[in-house]
Structure 1
Amino acid sequence: MENMNILVTGAAGYIGGSVVATLLSGDTHFAAKNIFAAVRAEEQVRSLQPLGIKVLQLDLRNEQEVAEAVLQNEIDIVINTASSIDGRLAAHFISALGKRREVTSKDTYHIHSSVTTGYSKEGGWPYGTIKDGDPVYKLEKELNDGFPIRKTNTAITELAKERGVTSFIVGVPFVYGTGSGEWKKLSQNIPATIKASIALKTVYKFNQDSKFAAVHISDLAEYYVLIVKKILQGEKLPSGEEGYYFAVAHETGWWDVAQGLADVLRARGLVTEPTVRVWPSDDMAAEALDLPRQFVRLMHTARVTIDYNNRYPLGWAPKWDEQKFLASMDVEVADAFRYEKGRTTLFDALNGTN
């Protein structure tokens, strides 16, 4: 397996931190000297340094700073978990990887984290079910509707082609579970619902249920690592316009999740209502959940139709399924108390922060 230097952005975040931890785990055989982590704050640098990797404090919006980091540290692969919306961050790394390729004649790689809500009817996707291998880039390009996630996907795919960088886009669904990173341990939806439910003494749901695509954080981190392993082994994976991958392990229903949380919170004496009630308004939901009003319903009702039944690409074998997830609500509640550290990370990541 060829040695390459790997940089993970958003390494103090929920997904990025878990990717770093998985790269360093005993069964992956990646050397710490080849792992680099990009973070935003000095305290995050200090948190990750004991791992033995090189931690870079970077302003990802600064193109020159990003270029210097990539070239000086001889970065070959960037796993970008820092933002799904702000295409500038990915563009800066792709441009830098293109310069490195020009200088060294070595192939360089960019793995971008997108989100699957861009492929829901509620998110304006008119084409229905999609899967790995479908012409997703072509469909996004034809749609050309300016939806931020899809706009970023097409823009960075085109830039990577122009700069000679091998690119992949990973569609990330609803992510749950406790992360293995050093900084942020939790995602957004479930901890926000737990916090709001305790404050209101009742668990609420939207009046529309939805089966949504989901994955446990440990399985998602392994998905990224599998792509890297394939690269290092010299396998020519579909990339660029054909390089869309969907890290979907299973589907689940939000009403089932809400009822599971209600059962656990009621048993702990943290809510008074034994059943889940419907949010009186989206405004109340947005305020209670501390989420943007324009996204709050989409996050809880979007039906993302990813065909994962021909499982799984890359030889991925996720360990978590719907049954195991729904049986883990007590752990979700316990860890929401154990690891809560300010605002959790989904919209931080979407907006380009850690």
Structure 2
Amino acid sequence: MAQHILLTGGGGYIGGTILDQILSLTNSPIKPKNLTVTLRSEQQIKALSDMSVHAIALDLNDEEAVKEAVLSNNVDIIVHIASALEPAIASHLIKALGERRKVSNGEAYFIHSSVTAAFSKENGWPFGEVKDTDTLYDMEKQLPAGHPVRDADILVTDVARAEGVISLIVVVPVVYGMGSGEFRRTSSSIPSFLRTSIADQVVHRFDKDAHPAMTHVSDMAALYILLLEKILNKAPLPMGEKGYYFAMAHKVSWWDVMQKLADALYRRGLVNEAKVEIWPSDEMAAQHLGWPRQFVRAMGTSSGDIIPVNAFKIGWQPKWTAERFLGSMDVEVQAVLEQGDKFQSTLYDSILNA
């Protein structure tokens, strides 16, 4: 019996790129006819329906509506991208999969999306360098409750175990590049810097450099698809408490990124000079970038000593390197100019809600 997939956030940056890649697959166990996509608006639903995509509007906060959607669409696998840091939503989806598993007598899988920033010293991670093959679940359980990312990670593993659902956690880094989805095609952090720099006519950086984990959106989507293919082919995978996947392709200096952005913006006449200034205060940075004040320092200066193992072990092969990324700043600028403020990220709202 074919296993059906539900993709949340199909109109977003990463979710839309995943959907686009799925639709372009040829020799793959993933079949578009077995895919359901959740979207935010009727206009988006119509656009994808015209492309023969089964798209639905679904309030992920409505537990009964989520259960009905999972059961009526015979969903066995959920790839959760939308509002992934809100524990209640993850719980609704996993419990719905638990109900589906009882009906189908088969396996059910939940692929959750976390973020790498949770594993940085600036975000209270006390264990230093860490691999995704380490006992991350046990390490996260040792920390006090209250961090939205770690709370969501723990909840996913615990609820999935209780419901008999197999969980995997993809730990998402800073994602960049032009998405290929039908709607939103820009990321969160770099467009924040670009829009602010254009508005202020000057590029700012934090007083402390950082080397965050980074991945191009096409490589990010490729990992989710690889996991889906492995699941459908019944291939062995790290799962449950061992099912963490650091989706890091490379690291890069934020200061180098800011200088490259300044150069690209100056060439277009969008800033007054190709010089990068230091933010006068974290409060000003949070206000101008639109980032949560309590997390702005960690978001702007954390690196995180993470080492990806599991994704590469199952065959993930990112195509983008740090050098290629730093040479693509004109693409980042053009993407923001084309999309403008049409699509605002809900990532920071999700963090605050969680």
- When normalised by structure 1's length, the TM-score is 0.95
In structure 2, distance between residues paired with 1:119 and 1:145: 15
Query: In structure 2, what is the Cα distance between the partners aligned to 1:12 and 1:349?
Result: 17
Alpha carbons of 1:69 and 1:348: their partners in 2 closer, same or farther (altered >3 Å)?
A: farther
Contact 2:168–2:244 (CA under 8 A) maintained in structure 1: yes
- The Cα of 1:348 is off from its aligned counterpart by 5.7
Q: Does 2:31 match 1:21?
A: no
Query: Aligned residue pairs: how many?
Result: 352
Cα deviation, residue 202, structure 1? 0.7
What secondary structure, in the 3-state scheme, does the structure 1 residue paired with 2:195 have? helix
1:316-343, CA deviations, whole angstroms, 9 ceiling, x for partnerless residues? 0000010000000011101111123435
Is 2:110 the partner of 1:74?
no
Distance 1:148 1:279, change over 3 A: same
Q: How does 1:11-160 map to 2 (within 5 A)?
A: 11-27=10-26, 29=28, 30-160=30-160
Letter in 2 for 1:330: D
Residue 253 of structure 1 is matched in structure 2 by: 253
Structure 1 residue 195: deviation in Å?
A: 1.2
Partner of 1:347: 347
Q: Tell me, yes or no, if the aligned pair for 2:244 and 2:310 is still in contact at 8 Å.
A: no
Aligned residue in 1 for 2:186: 186
Q: Is the 8 A contact 1:22 1:28 kept in 2?
A: no
SS in 2 for 1:226: helix
- For residue 130 of structure 2, give the secondary structure of its aligned residue in structure 1: coil
CA distance in 1, matches of 2:259, 2:47: 36
What is aligned with 1:273? Answer: 273
CA distance in 2, matches of 1:311, 1:103: 32
Residue identity over aligned pairs, in percent, reads 44
Distance 1:18 1:148, change over 3 A: same
- Measured in 2, the distance between the counterparts of 1:152 and 1:28 equals 35
Name the SS for the 2:266 alignment partner: helix
The alignment's C-alpha RMSD in Å is 1.8
Q: CA deviation at 1:346?
A: 5.2
Deviation, 1:108, is: 0.6
Query: 2:204: which partner in 1?
Result: 204
Q: How does 1:222-237 map to 2 (within 5 A)?
A: 222-237=222-237
Closer, same or farther in 2 for the Cα pair 1:120/1:8, shift >3 Å?
A: same
CA distance in 2, matches of 1:312, 1:19: 19
| Cα offset, 1:273, TM superposition | 2.2
Q: Measure the CA separation in 1 of the matches of 2:36 and 2:84.
A: 20
Return the letter of the residue paired with 1:40: R
State the shift of 1:35 in Å: 1.1
Q: Which residue of 2 aligns with 1:177?
A: 177
What is the match of residue 213 of structure 1? 213
Q: Any idea what SS the aligned residue of 2:75 has?
A: coil
Q: Distance in 1 between matches of 2:71 and 2:180?
A: 29
Q: Partner of 2:324 in structure 1?
A: 324
Q: 1:238 maps to what in 2?
A: 238
CA distance, structure 2, for counterparts of residue 186 and residue 78 of structure 1: 23
Unaligned runs of 5+ in 1: none
Closer, same or farther in 2 for the Cα pair 1:311/1:234, shift >3 Å?
closer
Counterpart in the other structure of 1:5? 4
Matches within 5 A, 1:293-312: 293-308=293-308, 312=312
Q: In terms of mean alpha carbon deviation, does 81-90 or 91-100 score higher? A: 81-90
Letter in 2 for 1:162: A
Asked if the contact 2:133/2:309 (under 8 Å) is kept, the reply is no
Report if aligned partners of 1:169, 1:244 keep a CA contact under 8 Å in 2. yes
Amino acid corresponding to residue 118 of structure 2 in structure 1: G
Report the CA distance between 1:143 and its aligned residue. Answer: 1.6
Q: Which amino acid aligns with 2:195?
A: K
Amino acid at match of 2:171: G
Query: 1:71, 1:309 → 2: CA distance?
Result: 35
* Cα distance in 1 for residues equivalent to 2:131 and 2:43: 40
Counterpart-to-counterpart distance in 2, 1:309 and 1:7: 27
Check whether the contact 2:98–2:108 (CA below 8 A) recurs between aligned residues. yes
Give the 3 Å change call, closer, same or farther, for CA 101–166 of structure 1 in structure 2.
same
Say if 1:28 and 1:44 are closer, same or farther in 2 by CA, change over 3 A.
farther
- Unpaired runs of 5+ in structure 2? none
Name the CA shift for 1:156/1:256 in 2 (closer, same or farther; >3 Å): same
Provide the rounded CA distance (Å) in 2 between the counterparts of 1:224 and 1:259. 32
Local SS of the residue matching 1:167:
strand
How far apart in 2 are the matches of 1:346 and 1:39? 14
Give SS of 2:307's match: coil
